[in-house]
Amino acid sequence: MLDSKIPEGPLENKWSNYKGHVKLVNPANKRKLEIIVVGTGLAGASAAASLGELGYRVKAFCFQDSPRRAHSIAAQGGINAAKNYQNDGDSVFRLFYDTIKGGDYRSRESNTHRLAEVSVNIIDQCVAQGVPFAREYSGLLNNRSFGGVQVKRTFYAAGQTGQQLLIGAYQALERQVALGNVTMYTRHEMLDVVIIDGKARGIICRNLVTGELERHFGHSVLLCTGGYGNVFYLSTNAMGCNVTAAWKAHKKGAFFANPCFTQIHPTCIPVTGDHQSKLTLMSESLRNDGRIWVPKKQNDTRKANDIPEEERDYYLERRYPAYGNLVPRDVASRAAKERCDAGYGVGTTKQAVYLDFRYNLINKYGRAEASKHGIENPDMETLVRLGKEVVKEEYGNLFDMYEKITGENPYEVPMRIYPAVHYTMGGLWVDYELMTSVKGLYALGECNFSDHGANRLGASALMQGLADGYFVIPYTIGNYLADEISVKPIPTTHEAFEAAENAVRERISSLMNIKGNQSVESFHKRLGKIMWNKCGMSRNAKNLNEAIQEIRSLKKEFWNEVRIPGDINEMNPELDKASRVADFIELGELICIDALERAESCGGHFREESQTEEGEALRHDDQFLHVAAWEYNGEHNWKLNKEELEFELAKPTQRNYK
Amino acid sequence: MDHYTMNLTLKVWKQKNKSERGHFETYQVTDISSEMSFLEMFDVLNEKLIEENREPIAFDHDCREGICGMCSMYINGRPHGPWHGTTTCQLHMRAFKDGDTVVVEPWRANAFPVIKDLIVDRHAFDRIIQAGGYISVNTGNAVDGNAIPVEKEKADQSFAAAACIGCGACVAACKNSSAMLFVSAKVAHLALLPQGAPEKKSRVLNMVEQMDKEGFGSCTMTEACEAVCPKEISVDYIARLNKEYLSAASLIDK
Ligand SMILES: Cc1cc2nc3c(=O)[nH]c(=O)nc-3n(C[C@H](O)[C@H](O)[C@H](O)COP(=O)(O)OP(=O)(O)OC[C@H]3O[C@@H](n4cnc5c(N)ncnc54)[C@H](O)[C@@H]3O)c2cc1C
Ligand code: SF4
Ligand code: FES
């Protein structure tokens, strides 16, 4: 059933064996083959550019006005690679192991190992393209440490790593556009896949400027359409991030894997009110120097700086003395929620904790600078002044962003932070070649499920997107297309295109004809509330069952009550949004079903019924050492397929951070 | 930080599509919290318009974090509004007070035609990049990253130029609608790096030629662009571009 096509041989030789034996397409035949790439973030832009360079005829699509604006642009912290430039003992094996362990042993070893292998090529490629990574005075590349691992392997460009990587990939893509190898369609949204004789052969999309539907043929179709975190309404994702492309593929036969594996990031700027449209991340790197605390007294209304040291509860340092403030994301998030739920939260909404830089500003940086400057017995004022300078250099842009949003100066008062939805490990099921369960349909980047298990480590999503696009798909797609060279382009008048376009047209007109009384936004907010309250940081069977019922009735209400202004044949952002929210509602149901089925805690998925005496996540490897790949069988009806996970090198153990 | 609420009068540009003529429309918004972002204030207005069965206002946005370059509103005569070094999406309502009138228009430039309401077409920027805003290296051709050391100062300058988000505020602020700040930032980003050096000359000539073709005006160094650039890109890059352009043009005798 589920054939993951893992190559033979020992783990560390699989990828080179595969590459040595894979079928090839000769250059003349590549010219005859057309590939559709949906999405041009890091995964899609790198894939489209590389495939264009190889000589394939590529058509690429995105919904923004330019590929340079994909959500990847917002990534802050950095990208991992096993370069071992620091001579601190890093290796492909270590990066592989950290990633598998960070994912709480719920990812496929062979894919994760390949990711670690190609990570080194990514950095080289990006440097050659002119990505201005941070450098040392020697002129060589600099690294920072990230997310609890014990080596420094994260490459970065200030707090704008995603921006710089995406611009590199975007420029490579635009070069292929100029050379005529790639045709770029911006402000286009894919609304269905076309399948002919069991193989993906094209897409239907809507031109978002004119509202017209278009048909496009391809010998194969790549989805690189990002994550679905916005199913929670509020998240750190960009406003336009959506599940639509993946969901349409799912309904046409692509299995959806581990949808309940969603990542909640502990340090984000908290919600201020009902008007809130999105949440802003404050990079994980801040936890290197920021200490997290709440008052020891419940409902304490004093200002942070008026609360004396002995009345502060540094709860992470208290609960996890070994890792302190640097516990993994899932652990830090749950601990913050626990304190707030118990009545110790701060700020007007009481849904926040403090992230305080003062201690390290004075004691770590202030004192070090004073000693560098030869100042003996420095007074407090001098320490603060000197410390501030260093903190500014390290985190200046984040502090500025915080101040713009909140109006508070984090050099003076602690930041208020709270966990927020950030990333989705789940996604379309893919085999080793990144092919979904539909032949010729591939999924790359955040929209597939493959490499991060139940929890993603910091700085590894950028790595995965670029690995998939630059270094994996150019090889694996040939293995499929080699057998397609005799297939002539299928005219888009084919009945399958006709039928798919008609179905899309009908769905759009039924949406427009509801003419109800409630806005799209109001439904999205309600869905988000259900998801956050009942399928968020901590989950239990009762809540999940309720959520499933609530989402089903929300779906009914949506299809009876939603109001979409404007017309079909024009630019209509409300219609775009309605179509996405309708898909989110269906996905929400599947997420809850998956969360209910997985009656264990692992990584970001915390089931209250499955915890240790100290309240830590408890895995059940005897029952859940598998990928849950859901097959769509009609409304409210899914079949569970399991891909058993086999570990050749890694040894699943219970994580411990005490 | 003390929070407050305010009532505002908004005068917003409405335009059905590229070909029809636009006009200003006046809206009242009430109970706007000083904690909202400028775009959240527009969300509130749009929700109200939908409730009243009226057309909401179309505007571009995505990341709402000041990095994607999608948002683009000309607010009270200034691209991205009153705050220095800030995109529209990062502008917050505490910049305004109760009773204010706020005028909101799209970017205005021949090379950026209005598509609808506050949304303009910025493809011209992509075409300028296509003309040469890259280093011609195929995937798989690269040498080890540390085989190409880059002087830290140059790398930092290159990064500062590469921070451009391609929003087009520089064009919108310029009385000539020149795209020089945008083009010079890209030219500098790549020319400052050893990897970008081999194509230095053809790059600057081709990008400038494309900029002219797109109908952007010429640069008369008023520096209005720098003043509104949300990423504080410096006009020094324009001087750099001019130098590079002259030396490239004099060497190439095509
Ligand atoms: C605030 C923030 C900070 C982050 N920081 C880091 C970090 O420091 N390090 C790290 O490794 N990871 C980080 N991540 C995660 C990482 O940025 C993402 O996982 C990654 O960039 C996703 O890339 P992608 O190419 O898969 O998708 P995206 O960049 O989301 O691109 C999706 C593309 O698909 C297109 N698209 C979507 N649907 C359709 C459709 N129906 N039709 C047509 N086109 C469509 C879009 O237009 C876009 O081009 C961060 C994430 C966030 C939210
Ligand atoms: S130079 Fe500044 S204003 Fe112009 S496009 Fe770039 S970021 Fe925007
Ligand atoms: S919405 Fe992305 S920069 Fe403003």
Mean pLDDT value across residues B224-253: 92
Answer yes or no: are the C-beta atoms of A589 and A636 closer than 8 Å: yes
Confidence class for position B249, pLDDT limits 50, 70, 90: confident
Q: Does residue A551 lie in a domain region? A: no
pLDDT digits (tens, 9 = 90+) for A563-600: 999 999 999 999 999 999 999 999 999 999 999 999 99
The sign of the dihedral angle between the CA atoms of B72, A133, A185, A179 is positive
Question: A410 alpha carbon to ligand 1 midpoint, in Å?
Answer: 28
pLDDT at A95: 96
Confidence class for position A147, pLDDT limits 50, 70, 90: low
Q: Can you tell me the distance from the alpha carbon of B106 to that of B74, in angstroms, rounded to the nearest whole number?
A: 6
Instruction: Calculate the average pLDDT of chain A.
Output: 95
State which H helix or E strand residue A200 sits in: strand A199-207
SS (HEC) of A526-560: HHHHHHHHHCCCCECHHHHHHHHHHHHHHHHHHHH
The residues with which A221 forms a beta bridge, in sequence order, are A36, A441
Pair (B89, B166) in one structural domain: no
Pair (A191, A247) in one structural domain: yes
Q: Which of A445, A464, A481 is the last residue of a domain?
A: A481
Query: Residue A560: is it exposed, middle or buried by C-beta count within 10 angstroms (0-12/13-18/19+)?
Result: exposed
Question: B51 alpha carbon to ligand 2 midpoint, in Å?
Answer: 36
CB within 8 Å: B68 and A73: yes
pLDDT digits (tens, 9 = 90+) for A497-543: 999 999 999 999 999 999 999 999 999 999 999 999 999 999 999 99
Mean pLDDT value across residues B223-248: 96
Q: Which of A421, A450, A473 is the last residue of a domain?
A: A421
Question: B102 alpha carbon to ligand 3 midpoint, in Å?
Answer: 20
Pair (A201, A94) in one structural domain: yes
pLDDT digits (tens, 9 = 90+) for A304-339: 999 999 999 999 999 999 888 888 888 899 999 999
Pair (A207, A284) in one structural domain: no
CB within 8 Å: B142 and A135: no
Ligand 3 atom nearest to B89, measured from its CA: 4
Among B49, B90, B144, whose Cβ lies nearest the Cβ of A124? B144
Q: Is the pLDDT of residue A213 over 90?
A: yes
CB within 8 Å: B70 and A69: yes
Pair (B149, B243) in one structural domain: yes
Pair (B93, B131) in one structural domain: no
Answer yes or no: are the C-beta atoms of A93 and A117 closer than 8 Å: no
Q: Can you tell me the distance from the alpha carbon of A391 to that of A128, in angstroms, rounded to the nearest whole number?
A: 31
Closest CA in chain A for residue B48: A519
Mean pLDDT value across residues A382-408: 88
The letter for the amino acid at B179 is A
Pair (B20, B98) in one structural domain: yes
CB within 8 Å: B37 and A140: no
Q: Can you tell me the distance from the alpha carbon of A288 to that of B134, in angstroms, rounded to the nearest whole number?
A: 36
Q: Does residue A624 lie in a domain region? A: no
In the A/B pair of chains, how many CB contacts fall below 8 A? Answer: 221
Query: Residue A495: is it exposed, middle or buried by C-beta count within 10 angstroms (0-12/13-18/19+)?
Result: exposed
Mean pLDDT value across residues A423-443: 98
Q: Which of B92, B115, B138 is the last residue of a domain?
A: B115
Closest CA in chain B for residue A125: B142
Q: Is the pLDDT of residue A77 over 70?
A: yes
CB within 8 Å: A238 and B122: no
DSSP string covering A406-455, please?
A: HS--TTTSPEEEEEEEEEE--EE---TTSB-SSBTEEE-GGGB--S-TTS
Pair (A148, A78) in one structural domain: yes
CB within 8 Å: B68 and A563: no
Domain holding B67, by residue range, is 5-115
All residues of chain A having their beta carbon less than 8 Å from the beta carbon of residue B40 are 275-277
All residues of chain A having their beta carbon less than 8 Å from the beta carbon of residue B54 are 565
Distance between terminal CA atoms of chain A? 42
CATH number for the domain harbouring residue A136: 3.50.50.60
Q: Among all ligands shown, which has an atom nearest to the Cα of B229?
A: 2
Q: Is the pLDDT of residue A110 over 80?
A: yes
Sheet strands side by side (includes A291-295): A262-268, A415-424, A353-356, A291-295, A312-313
Q: Can you tell me the distance from the alpha carbon of A657 to that of A644, in angstroms, rounded to the nearest whole number?
A: 27
Pair (A49, A160) in one structural domain: yes
What are phi and psi for residue A403, nearest 5 degrees? Answer: -70, -40
Pair (A80, A19) in one structural domain: yes
CATH number for the domain harbouring residue B208: 1.10.1060.10
Q: What is the pTM of this model?
A: 0.97
pLDDT digits (tens, 9 = 90+) for B162-172: 999 999 999 99
Pair (A211, A311) in one structural domain: no
Confidence class for position B44, pLDDT limits 50, 70, 90: very high
- Distance of residue B62 Cα from the nearest chain A Cα, in angstroms: 5
pLDDT at A148: 63
Pair (B158, B236) in one structural domain: yes
Answer yes or no: are the C-beta atoms of A604 and A454 closer than 8 Å: yes
CATH number for the domain harbouring residue A330: 3.90.700.10
Mean pLDDT value across residues B12-39: 97
Q: Can you tell me the distance from the alpha carbon of A452 to that of B53, in angstroms, rounded to the nearest whole number?
A: 45
Answer yes or no: are the C-beta atoms of B95 and B81 closer than 8 Å: yes
Q: Which of B88, B115, B142 is the last residue of a domain?
A: B115
- Distance of residue A604 Cα from the nearest chain B Cα, in angstroms: 24
All residues of chain A having their beta carbon less than 8 Å from the beta carbon of residue B84 are none
Picking from A68, A188, A401 by the largest number of B CB atoms within 10 A of its own CB, the best residue to mutate is A68
Query: Residue A493: is it exposed, middle or buried by C-beta count within 10 angstroms (0-12/13-18/19+)?
Result: exposed
Instruction: Calculate the average pLDDT of chain B.
Output: 96
Pair (A234, A302) in one structural domain: no
CATH number for the domain harbouring residue B80: 3.10.20.30
Q: Among all ligands shown, which has an atom nearest to the Cα of B70?
A: 3
Pair (B176, B110) in one structural domain: no
* Ligand 3 pocket check for B230: Cβ under 6 Å: no
Pair (B131, B219) in one structural domain: yes
pLDDT at A548: 98
Q: Which of B180, B163, B166 is nearest to B60 (CA)?
A: B166
Ligand 1 atom nearest to A42, measured from its CA: 25
With tokens 């990031």, the residue in question is A265
C-alpha pair distances (Å), A197 with each of A1, A201, B171: 18, 9, 50
Confidence class for position A151, pLDDT limits 50, 70, 90: confident
Tokens (6 digits) for B184 = 């010079």
What are phi and psi for residue A45, nearest 5 degrees? Answer: -65, -40
Question: What residues does ligand 1 touch, defined as CB less than 6 Å away?
Answer: A 38-44, 61-64, 70-72, 74-79, 161-162, 188-190, 224-227, 236-237, 241-242, 244-245, 281, 422-423, 445-447, 459-462, 465
- Distance of residue B220 Cα from the nearest chain A Cα, in angstroms: 28
> How far out from the chain centre does Cα A91 lie?
25
Alpha helices in B4-151 (DSSP H): 38-51, 123-130
Q: What is the dihedral of CA B145, B147, B152, B153, to 10 degrees?
A: -110
Alpha helices in A130-160 (DSSP H): none
DSSP string covering A24-54, please?
A: ---HHHHTT-EEEEE--SHHHHHHHHHHHHH
State which H helix or E strand residue B154 sits in: helix B152-162
Q: Can you tell me the distance from the alpha carbon of B244 to that of B249, in angstroms, rounded to the nearest whole number?
A: 8
Name every residue whose Cβ is closer than 8 Å to that of residue A446 and which is 6 or more positions away in sequence: A43, A226, A227, A423, A424, A427, A461, A464, A465
Pair (B11, B63) in one structural domain: yes
The letter for the amino acid at A56 is Y
Q: Which of A471, A414, A424, A145 is nearest to A270 (CA)?
A: A414
pLDDT digits (tens, 9 = 90+) for B197-217: 999 999 999 999 999 999 999
Q: Is the pLDDT of residue A656 over 80?
A: no
Pair (B77, B14) in one structural domain: yes
Pair (A253, A282) in one structural domain: no
Domain count, chain A: 2
pLDDT digits (tens, 9 = 90+) for A190-206: 999 999 999 999 999 99
Pair (A453, A388) in one structural domain: no
Name every residue whose Cβ is closer than 8 Å to that of residue A576 and which is 6 or more positions away in sequence: A63, A189, A206, A208
Question: Which of A462, A464, A575, A580 is the best mutation target for the ligand 1 pocket, counting ligand atoms within 8 Å of the beta carbon and taking the most?
Answer: A462
Q: Which of A421, A437, A465 is the last residue of a domain?
A: A421
Domain count, chain B: 2
With tokens 């970065």, the residue in question is A156
> What is this model's ipTM?
0.98
Pair (B148, B221) in one structural domain: yes
Ligand 3 atom nearest to B63, measured from its CA: 2
Question: B67 alpha carbon to ligand 3 midpoint, in Å?
Answer: 6
Pair (A350, A450) in one structural domain: no
Query: Residue A420: is it exposed, middle or buried by C-beta count within 10 angstroms (0-12/13-18/19+)?
Result: buried
Question: A392 alpha carbon to ligand 2 midpoint, in Å?
Answer: 24
Pair (B133, B100) in one structural domain: no
Pair (A386, A251) in one structural domain: no
Q: Which of B115, B137, B155 is the last residue of a domain?
A: B115
- ∠ CA(A369), CA(A371), CA(A372), 5° rounding? 60
Confidence class for position B252, pLDDT limits 50, 70, 90: low
Answer yes or no: are the C-beta atoms of A649 and A11 closer than 8 Å: yes
CB within 8 Å: B40 and A275: yes
Answer yes or no: are the C-beta atoms of A22 and A479 closer than 8 Å: yes
Domain holding A110, by residue range, is 11-261+422-481
Pair (B40, B137) in one structural domain: no
CB within 8 Å: A401 and B90: yes
Among A50, A127, A406, whose Cβ lies nearest the Cβ of B145? A127
Q: Does residue A553 lie in a domain region? A: no
Tokens (6 digits) for A602 = 């692992």
State which H helix or E strand residue A638 sits in: strand A638-644
What are phi and psi for residue B104, nearest 5 degrees? Answer: -125, 125
